[in-house]
């Protein structure tokens, strides 16, 4: 089956209805927004990851599942590098690690949001 990436409704591979895809797309958009807001209010990322885990099973088999995985990996790796950076601030390298982490997070949120806007999965299947 070929997938038409210009049509978000045709991208569901599990036979789910268009309304479900629209709902999942909205959830993915909200989580990207929460990740972006986290640069100013860090706790919104936690809300986003909770939403990801709650809704992940509904997204399985759709093109949006790749966005859920992308968002989850962004959260966990950002948290890991923040902790590493925080722990190493006493030798000053931690500030560079945390700065690089922020740049990496901006890249991940921007790339994900742009691919979502283009109705494309994060990973080719």
Q: What is the pTM of this model?
A: 0.83
Token duo for residue 106: 């901006």
pLDDT at 87: 95
For residue 29, what are the CA distances in angstroms to 10, 14, 48, 86?
19, 21, 10, 29
Average pLDDT value for residue range 6-32: 76
Q: Identify the band that residue 18 occupies on the pLDDT scale cut at 50, 70 and 90.
A: confident
pLDDT at 3 over 70: no
Most confident of 10-14, 28-32, 38-42, 59-63: 28-32
Residue 93: is its pLDDT beyond 70? yes
């Amino acid at each position: 089956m070929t997938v038409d990436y210009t049509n978000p409704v045709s991208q569901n591979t599990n036979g789910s209805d268009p309304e479900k895809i629209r709902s999942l797309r909205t959830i993915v958009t909200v989580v990207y927004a929460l990740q972006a807001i986290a640069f100013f209010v860090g706790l919104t990322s936690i809300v986003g990851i909770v939403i990801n885990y709650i809704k992940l099973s509904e997204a399985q088999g759709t093109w949006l599942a790749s966005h859920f995985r992308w968002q989850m990996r962004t959260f966990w790796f950002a948290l890991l590098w923040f902790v590493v950076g925080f722990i190493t601030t006493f030798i000053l390298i931690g500030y560079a690690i945390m700065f690089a982490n922020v740049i990496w997070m901006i890249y991940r949120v921007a790339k994900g949001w742009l691919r979502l806007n283009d109705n494309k999965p994060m990973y080719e299947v």
